[in-house]
Every structure is written in C-alpha cells, then in structure tokens.
C-alpha cells in the first residue's frame, strides 16, 4: 500500500468504528478543558475525571481559582500526580488569564503556550476541542500508531505531528486525532497487544513491526 492508500484505509475504518467520537476529558468550557488537559499529563483520563469535579466544585473559573492558595489546589489534585508543578501552573495561568485576557482562554495556540505549565500538546488539544481550530495533538497512542502504520519514523512527537498534518486532510484533524487515540487504547495498546484484533495494523502495518510481533509471539 502507498501512504495515500493507507491514509484512506485508516480514515474509513476509524469512521466505521467511531462514528460518534467521545471527548476523553470531562469539561464544560475552554477554561475547564484547559485545566483538565493540564492535569492529564502523565496521568489517566479516568483519574482526571474523578479529580476535576472536586476542583471545579471549588473553582471552575480563573476568578475563583486564584481565591484558592497553591497549597489548596495541590491538595485537591494530588491523585493525578505531579501536583506541586501542576498546582503552581493552574494558579499562575489563572492569574494571567485574568490580568491579560479578562478571564477568557485565548484561541491562539502561541498565546496558550505562553501560559505556565501549558505545552504544545495541551495548547493543541484546547484549540482543537474548545474552539474547533484544526490541530493534531500527538499523544503516546498517536505516536505509537503512526510508527506502527509506517506513516512516521517514530523518532519524536514533533516529527510525528508534522507527518500527521502532512498526510491527513486538515478538515479531519480534530476528529482523527481523537479517533486514533481511542483506537490505540482499544485495539493497539503498547502492552497486551493482540494483532488479530488490531485490524488496521494487521492490514497496513510496517513490516518490521509485524515481523517483531510474530517473533515475540513465537518466543513466548
């Protein structure tokens, strides 16, 4: 298969599997999404979705958030991990949103990346899911699958994002990045991978990946 044929195959299969695409992190507006995505770093969506209601009950906007101390925020978000860094980031970005943006989350990805504790992936998720601006946030699932499918070198997430944006139509980015994440979790995980269930990789996967899979399976 050529890369363009692989892309067409992926799009069709993902549309069949995920005609309705759930958003992994619970939120009600751009601000609560921004906080939820920040909290999700090196954590799980399940853990974040259990923690954010407790935080948002106290403060679901930047004006209320800065009424809390960094220590209070830290105590609430401890279950998600990295709470010292994340609590400072949440307090700091909330203060900046009030001072510079009247409490509103900016739509510009570059402005978002200037906020404390907000990296490129977080900013990309926010502009994509909160504002509908085309972006292709690359998480570990997308990075893994782009390599398995022979669509990227797998060297780093920066290159993977460039390859994804080059190969997939811009108007599909926002849906596709979520569809690939769900597919990676359900059918093509890093651990406990069953290639027989992973129809996309089984059909279009990089030969090296497929050969390594079968060699490992035989060695068990």
Residue 139 annotated among the catalytic residues of the structure: yes
Angstrom distance (rounded) from CA 21 to CA 172: 12
- Report angle CA 50, 55, 56 to the nearest 5 degrees: 100
Q: Which of 139, 162, 165, 202 is catalytic?
A: 139
Q: Which of 86, 121, 163, 198 is catalytic?
A: 121
Residue 121 annotated among the catalytic residues of the structure: yes
Q: Which residues are catalytic?
A: 121, 139
């Amino acid at each position: 298969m050529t890369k363009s044929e692989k892309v067409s195959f992926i799009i069709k299969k993902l549309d069949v599997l995920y005609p309705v695409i759930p958003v992994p992190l619970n939120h009600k507006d751009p601000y609560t999404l921004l906080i939820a995505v920040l909290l999700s770093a090196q954590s799980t969506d399940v853990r974040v979705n259990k923690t954010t209601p407790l935080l948002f009950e106290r403060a679901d906007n930047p004006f209320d958030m800065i009424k809390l101390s960094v220590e209070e925020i830290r105590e609430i978000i401890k279950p998600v991990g990295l709470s010292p860094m994340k609590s400072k980031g949440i307090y700091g970005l909330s203060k900046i949103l009030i001072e510079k943006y009247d409490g509103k989350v900016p739509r510009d990805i570059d402005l978002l990346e200037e906020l404390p504790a907000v990296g490129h992936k977080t900013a990309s998720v926010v502009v994509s899911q909160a504002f509908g601006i085309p972006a292709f946030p690359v998480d570990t699932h997308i990075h893994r699958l782009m390599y398995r499918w022979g669509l990227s070198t797998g060297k780093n997430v920066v290159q993977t994002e460039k390859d994804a944006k080059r190969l997939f139509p811009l108007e599909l980015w926002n849906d596709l990045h979520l569809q690939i994440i769900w597919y990676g979790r359900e059918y093509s995980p890093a651990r406990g991978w069953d290639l027989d269930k992973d129809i996309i990789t089984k059909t279009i996967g990089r030969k090296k990946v497929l050969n390594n899979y079968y060699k490992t399976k035989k060695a068990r």
